[in-house]
Chains A and B, each alone.
Chain A
Amino acid sequence: MASDRIEAGTTTVTSRKGDEIEAYHARPIETTGYGSVVVIHHMPGYDSSTKEIARRLASHGYGAVVPNLFHRYAPGASAGDGAAAARAAGGVPDAQCLDDVAGAMAFLKDQAAANGKVGVIGYCSGGRQSYLSACNLDLDAAVVCYGGGVVASPEQLTPGRPVAVIDMTKDLRCPMLGLFGSEDANPSPEHVARMEAELTTHAKTFEFHSYEGAGHAFFWVERPSYNAEASRDGWVQIWNFYDKYLAG
């Protein structure tokens, strides 16, 4: 029987620009040749729910690291204080996010027991950042969980988020799995349809699932938005997708 032992805890990841940020690393032990995943946290921050996702990935045989994208705004702070500080500062610029995800990718590739394949998964605002990363970094697989703001109007663009992520679709570098709720307002079913159309136009490899009756953040346990049916099937889709593109 394969080992299910894992190790998890806080570490440091060096961003592509060279500065160090806090991160949470979970990985299988007594296993080699595993694929890895960068987990991008949601707007409420680098929290226990996101760390739990990293441990779940490790339990399933993947290395996972969660870079704290809010670290610079509040080093060492609680998830809530970090999220508040980042929001007060105007949010994480896309360029900085890409530097941190690139650093997290390098960290995972450096693990001796890893197979060198790295995917990404992000939730909520992290879903948008997952899409962003997949269009700008050499990832092997990207999972976008209800990424709001991928489709953005010109007035929604900011100096830190200067380009609508949907307009980067032509540069997508890896297969994408999208998981959405039909009751979500951002991304709405119309937004999801826009993404599908754009991905199809550019002949990208992708697979989208939209769950009837599910709203935003249906994976988030312990919250009113949690939807057991969508979450259960969503995890099945995630394992199938990563097992296809990252394993071995």
Chain B
Amino acid sequence: MCTYLTSTEKVVGTGLGAHGWFAIQEAVVYFDHPQEALVEHALCLDFRAGGPADPSQRVAVELDAHSARRLAESILATLAHDEVKALGVD
């Protein structure tokens, strides 16, 4: 199946692309046919410079559904850790 489900988040960060680091302004999340991964569907993440930037300024990741879920849980667990909370940045 092809899904049209796409969620775009405005984010602040940096990504390492083919030509070095660049500022990331948006993260696009979708679950659909990947470009490269040999699975029928993948959780795809595009970290993009956004706006008028060169469209190749992106970091693309394609994960199988199980990996994506574990990654999401890992990110949330990391942010919930006492040492991170103590920093008061989230």
Contact = CB atoms under 8 A, between A and B. Distances in A.
B4 A81 contact: no
Given A74-B55, A77-B56, A90 B6 contact: yes
B30 interface: yes
A42 B4 contact: no
Contacts of B60: 80, 84
Contacts of B48: 84-85, 88
B28 A42 contact: no
A193 interface: no
Contacts of A224: 38-40
A224 B26 CA distance: 30
B1 interface: yes
A116 interface: no
Contacts of B40: 215-217, 223-225
Contacts of B8: 88
A184 B1 contact: yes
B5 to A, nearest CB: 10
Question: In which size bucket is the chain B interface?
Answer: 20 to 34
A77 B40 CA distance: 24
A156 interface: yes
Contacts of B28: 84, 87-88
A98 to B, nearest CB: 18
A185 B32 CA distance: 12
Interface string B54-84: 0110101000000000000000000000000
Interface in A74-96: 74, 77-85, 87-88, 90-91
A36 interface: no
B14 interface: no
B25 to A, nearest CB: 10
Contacts of B50: 88
Contacts of A82: 55
A148 B1 contact: yes
Interface string A11-54: 00000000000000000000000000000001111000000000
B58 A44 contact: no
A215 B1 CA distance: 8
Nearest to A158: B4
Nearest to B38: A224
Contacts of A43: 2, 32-33
A124 interface: yes
24 contacts: A42-B2, A43-B2, A43-B32, A77-B55, A80-B60, A81-B55, A82-B55, A83-B35, A85-B48, A88-B46, A88-B50, A91-B6, A125-B2, A125-B4, A161-B4, A184-B1, A187-B1, A188-B1, A215-B40, A216-B40, A223-B38, A223-B40, A224-B39, A224-B40
Given A84-B58, A88-B26, A124-B33, 14 more contacts: A43-B32, A77-B56, A79-B35, A81-B56, A83-B35, A84-B55, A85-B55, A88-B28, A124-B2, A156-B4, A216-B1, A216-B40, A224-B38, A224-B40
